[in-house]
Structure 1
Amino acid sequence: MPNHPTGPGLLVLMCGTAYSGKSTYAQALAARLDAVVVSLDEINERRGLWGGDGIPVEEWIRTHELAGAEVRALLAAGRTVIVDDTSSLRSLRDGWRSLVAGAGFVLVYLDVDHPTIRRRQAGNRVSAARRDVADAVLEQHLADFEPPGPDESPVRITSV
């Protein structure tokens, strides 16, 4: 899928719980599509925040504003952009859809069951391959996560 030097690009929005494999999948997809990955975790880290510790809503709003500005600029330049985030609420996914303004939009949902997520969290605590997500933060995240419905036309990935 080539990038166009002018005109709208393509936005690929990752969706899935913590430990579902979104970042790994986003990086692999970016290599195949010659895309730019905009990671909300990386934006938070630049801001001195870590979602695994819990972040106040107003800080998440600011992170989304910063990510939106990056994505708009890249799309305007005709780039393919992959947003690496949980996209845990329908309202957040709808916000990204409305941001594309003429660009293409694809929602990629990594649908991984909760027992697998918890096993990956435990394994990560042994390997320390990535920063930890506190138990209470993960449990709240899993409870609040709104999987995309059929009306959102997600590309559903079940084995990562």
Structure 2
Amino acid sequence: MDAAVGPASQTALVVMGVAGAGKSTLAAALAERLDAVFVEADDLHSVEAKAQMAAGMPLTDEDRWPWLARVAARARDERVEGRAVVVSCSALKRSYREFLTRVSGTELAFVHVHGTESQLAERIGARAGHFMPASMLTSQLATLEPLSADEHGFVVALELPVVDAVDRTLDYLKRNA
């Protein structure tokens, strides 16, 4: 565990981005390094939302708010119990990120894993067993609102080796504690 940003840290991390960016891989590696709880937001989608996405139909904001509330509640619950938490969640819009921060009641730092459309499409095509089809990438990219300069977070390139992305995230947290 990295003592500077471990369980005593007041910051919870949200690894964000579109499908195929490697959010879950990076979030799990960060959680392991920080001795933190890893929360996979995809697991908190309703059965109906997963079926809708699997059918190639994008979720609407109305579909997403209950899911985002479950994600925020889980982050809040972990922090209330004194545990560090790393969440893998698309968090595509600024309003979603603001909602997650407000409802979780904790400071969130966002790590946006970003790549080109072709990189993302290749990654989505290579993964098996996920409910999100490659056809959904276009709608996710259209929905994506990159982090603004006034948001607590930074961008990491998806082609970075995971260990380097973890190190950059920890460096960011130390500099912005």
Give 1:152's aligned residue: 151
Matches within 5 A, 1:1-160: 1-4=5-8, 9-44=10-45, 47=47, 49-50=49-50, 51-53=53-55, 54-101=58-105, 103-124=106-127, 128=128, 130-158=129-157, 159-160=159-160
Distance, in Å, in 2 between the alignment partners of 1:56 and 1:31 is: 33
Q: Secondary structure at the match of 1:106?
A: strand
- Matches of 1:68 and 1:55, distance apart in 2: 18
C-alpha spacing 1:150/1:132, structure 2 compared with 1 (3 Å) = same
- Identical counterparts, % of pairs: 25
TM-score by length of 1: 0.81
Q: In the superposition, relative to structure 1, how do residues 85 and 97 fare at CA in structure 2: closer, same or farther (>3 Å)?
A: same
- Aligned pair count? 151
* 5+ long unaligned stretches in structure 2: 161-177
CA RMSD of aligned residues (A): 2.2
C-alpha distance in structure 2 between counterparts of 1:52 and 1:11, whole Å: 29
The answer on whether the counterparts of 2:13 and 2:110 sit within 8 Å (CA) in structure 1 is yes
Question: Following the alignment from structure 1 to structure 2, what is the Cα–Cα distance between the partners of residues 2 and 123?
Answer: 33
> Which residue identity lines up with residue 25 of structure 2 in the other structure?
T
CA distance in 1: counterparts of 2:88 and 2:107, whole angstroms: 17
User: Letter of the aligned partner of 1:157 in structure 2?
Assistant: V
TM-score w.r.t. the length of structure 2 is: 0.74
Equivalent pair of 1:97/1:105 in contact (CA under 8 Å): yes
Q: Provide the C-alpha distance between the structure 1 equivalents of 2:125 and 2:104, rounded to a whole number of angstroms.
A: 37
**Any idea what SS the aligned residue of 1:110 has?**
strand
The gaps in structure 1 that reach 5 residues or longer are none
Distance in 1 (alpha carbons) for counterparts of 2:27 and 2:91: 13
Which whole-Å CA distance do the structure 2 matches of 1:52 and 1:33 have between them? 33
Tell me if the contact between 1:26 and 1:84 (Cα under 8 Å) persists in the aligned partners.
yes
Structure 1 segments (4+ residues) deviating >4 Å: none
Distance in 2, matches of 1:56 and 1:149, equals: 22
Q: Deviation of residue 135 (structure 1)?
A: 4.3
